Amino acid sequence: MRSARALLSLNLVIAASLNAQPEPPRQENRSVVVASKPFGESFLLCEMFAQLLESRGLSVERRPGLGATEIAFGALRSGAIDVYPEYTGTGLIAILHDSLPDSVMADSRAVFAHVTKRFAEQFQVRWLPPLGFQNTYAIAVKRATATKYHLRTLSDLARESPHLTAGFTADFIGRSDGLIGLSRVYGLRPRAVRPLAPAVKYQALVSGAVDVIDGYSTDGLLARYDLVTLVDDRHFFPPYEAAALVTDRLQAQIPTAIATLTLLSGRLDERAMRQLNRRVEVNGEDVRVVAGDELKTLGLVGDVQAAKTTVVRERSGFGRYMWDRRANLMGLMLRHLLLVALALLAAILVAVPLGLFLERTRPLAEPTIGALGVLQTIPSIALLAFMIPLLGVGITPALVALWLYALYPIARGTYTGVRDADPEAVSAAEALGTTPVQRLLWVRLPLAAPVIMAGIRTAAVITVGAATLAAFIGAGGLGEPIVAGLALADTRMILSGALPAAALALAVDGVLALVEKMVAPAHRREGIWRRLGSGPLDAVQGRTAG
C-alpha cells in the first residue's frame, strides 16, 4: 500500500514536472527518413537506426544505398533525409576539406569536437555522439605479398610500390584522404592504379589481379581472406569515428528521434561491428535480421516478431532465390515501370510539341536539340546528383532526371520526321487549300510517325536502363537490389534486379514496336495492321466494287 502510494506520488511529480515545462516539445506527425551510403556497414547501421526508431513507435522511411558521400550528404543538407551514418574523418576531409595540426589529427575526441562545431555552423547538421567504433581505411595486401616484399607499414608499401598494382575504389582515388594524400605523405607510386567497384575489390585482390586494395578496417572480408592490413606509421589517416549525422530540422520537429538514436552511442565497438559486417558480407545473412539481433543483444529492443520470419538465407538456386522474392520483385518492377512511364509520358508531352515548334523555327532547331544532346553526355549518376540540391531525394528528382534523358531522342525524332515528311505531298496539300493544322494532322504527323516512334522507343529503352540508377537517390525500382547487391557484394541480389530490368527493357521495346506498327502510315502497314484506321472514305469498298 505504501509503495503504491509512493508510486502514485512519483507519477504526480513526473506529471507536474512535465507540465511545468514552459513549452513541451511539439512532435510533428511525419516519418523519419533514414538513409545510408552504398556499402554493407552503412546499410546495417541504417537498418539499426530504423528498427530502433520503429521500436519507439516512430514511423520510418528507409532510403538505403544513396550514392556516395556527396549524394548522401547533399540529401541531408537539402532536408530530403533526416539521418545517415557518417565517419568523422570523411566529414573532416571529404566534406569540410579542413586540415588540422597532426597533434589534433591524432586525437579522435578533438577531431569529433572540430567537425561537430564546424558542421553546426556551416550546415546546420549535428553529429550525435559516436557509436563507439572507428572504421578507417585498411590498406590491405595478401599475406604472401606481405611476406615476399617485407611489408608491414605504409612506408614499406611506398618503398615497394613501383612493383605493385593498386586496385582502389573511385572514391578513394579522388579523395584527398585517399590516394592523393598517400602519394604526398608516403610517396606512394604504384605501377598502375585500377579503379574498382567496392563489391569486387576483395575478389580482385585474392585472384591476383591487383596487389593492394583500400579496405575498411571493419570489413568482414579482411578476416575471411586472411589479409594483412598495413600500419599507418605516419598517422596519415584521420580518425574515422562512426556516428549518426542528423539535421537540426529533425531535432526541432521530432526530438524523440534524436533521443532514441542517441541510445546507440558508445554501444558498438570494432569487434562487434566486424562480427556484424561478417554476418552480412560473408555469411550473406539478411541485413534486417542482423540489425534486429544486435539491437536485441544490446537490450535496446524486445523480441521483434518480424525479424524471426526471415531466417538465414539458404544457398539455394537462383531460380528459387527469385521465386522467394517474387512479391517484392514484382513491386519493384511495377515501381520501375511507373517511373519509366511517367518520365516518358512527360517527355512525350514536351518533346513532341517542341520538335514541331522547332520545325517551324528552323534556325533555333539545331542549337536547341544540340543542347538536349549535351544532357545525354552527362553520366546518369552525376545528373541524379545535381538534382539533389534542387529537388531532394526520392521519386521527384529521379523523374526529372529521367525526363531530361528522354527529351533528346523524342525531340530529334519529331523534328527530323516532320521536317523530312514527303515534301511533295506537303506542298500539294498546301496548294489545294489545307490549313497548317490540317497539314500537320493529316499529312506531316502521320508520315513522321515512324521516325517519332523510333525516337520514343529509344527514349523508353534508355529510361528503363537509367531508372536502375534512380535507386542511388532513393527512388526505388529495380535498381534497389542492384545498389544493395553491389554494396553487399551479393551477385544474386544484383542479378535479381538486373535481369528483370533487362527483361523489362525488351518488353517495353517490344510493346512499342507494336505501337509503331499501329501508327505507321497506312501505305506502309503490313498484314492485319493494314485494316487499322485508314479513314472514313475507305468504307466505300462496297460501292465501287460493282
Partner 1 sequence: MPTPLAARNVSHSFGSVIALDDVSIDVPAGRSVALVGESGSGKTTLLRCFNRLVEPVRGEVMVGDRDVRTQSTVLLRREIGYVQQHGGLLPHWRVLRNVALVPMLQEMPDPTDAALHALGLVGLPASNFAHRFPHELSGGQRQRVALARSIAAKPGVILLDEPFGALDAISRADLQESFSAMRRDLSVTTLLVTHDLAEAGRLADEVVVMRAGRVEQKGTMRTLISAPATEYVARLIERARAGLEALSL
Q: Which residues bind partner 1 (CB under 8 A)?
A: 422, 424-425, 427-435, 438, 442-443, 446-447, 521-524, 534-535, 537-538, 540-541, 543-546
**In a 3-state reduction of DSSP, which class is residue 301?**
coil
CB of 79 vs partner 1, minimal distance in Å: 54
Show the beta-strand stretches assigned E in 20-136: 32-35, 60-63, 83-87, 125-127
- Residue 35 φ then ψ, to 5°: -130, 175
CB of 544 vs partner 1, minimal distance in Å: 4
CB closer to partner 1, 327 vs 545: 545
Let me know: does 261 contact 128? Beta carbons within 8 Å. yes
Burial of 537 (0-12, 13-18, 19+ CB in 10 A): exposed
CB of 451 vs partner 1, minimal distance in Å: 14
CB of 533 vs partner 1, minimal distance in Å: 11
CB closer to partner 1, 141 vs 453: 453
Q: How far is the C-alpha of 43 from the C-alpha of 268, rounded, in Å? A: 15
Q: How far is the C-alpha of 35 from the C-alpha of 131, rounded, in Å? A: 16
CB of 448 vs partner 1, minimal distance in Å: 11
CB closer to partner 1, 92 vs 447: 447
Show the beta-strand stretches assigned E in 230-310: 242-247
CB of 447 vs partner 1, minimal distance in Å: 6
Q: What is the DSSP string of 224-248?
A: HTTEEEPB-TT--SPP-BEEEEEEH
CB of 513 vs partner 1, minimal distance in Å: 19
CB closer to partner 1, 8 vs 428: 428
CB closer to partner 1, 132 vs 446: 446
- Nearest alpha carbon to residue 131 among 225, 29, 210, 241: 241
- Nearest alpha carbon to residue 411 among 462, 359, 467: 359
Give 475-517 as a 3 state SS string. Answer: CCCCHHHHHHHHHCCCHHHHHHHHHHHHHHHHHHHHHHHHHHH
Joined grid coordinates for residue 330: 514484382
CB closer to partner 1, 110 vs 425: 425
* 298 DSSP assignment: T
CB closer to partner 1, 243 vs 449: 449
CB of 530 vs partner 1, minimal distance in Å: 10
CB of 427 vs partner 1, minimal distance in Å: 6
Q: How far is the C-alpha of 282 from the C-alpha of 253, rounded, in Å? A: 39
CB closer to partner 1, 23 vs 526: 526
CB closer to partner 1, 367 vs 527: 527
Let me know: does 256 contact 27? Beta carbons within 8 Å. yes
CB of 536 vs partner 1, minimal distance in Å: 9
Burial of 492 (0-12, 13-18, 19+ CB in 10 A): middle
- Residue 242 φ then ψ, to 5°: -80, 140
CB closer to partner 1, 154 vs 447: 447
Is the Cα torsion angle 67, 69, 75, 78 positive or negative in sign? negative
CB closer to partner 1, 399 vs 448: 448
Q: How far is the C-alpha of 274 from the C-alpha of 135, rounded, in Å? A: 10
Q: Count of CB atoms within 10 A of residue 372's CB?
A: 19
Q: How far is the C-alpha of 447 from the C-alpha of 521, rounded, in Å? A: 6
Q: Count of CB atoms within 10 A of residue 80's CB?
A: 23
CB of 526 vs partner 1, minimal distance in Å: 12
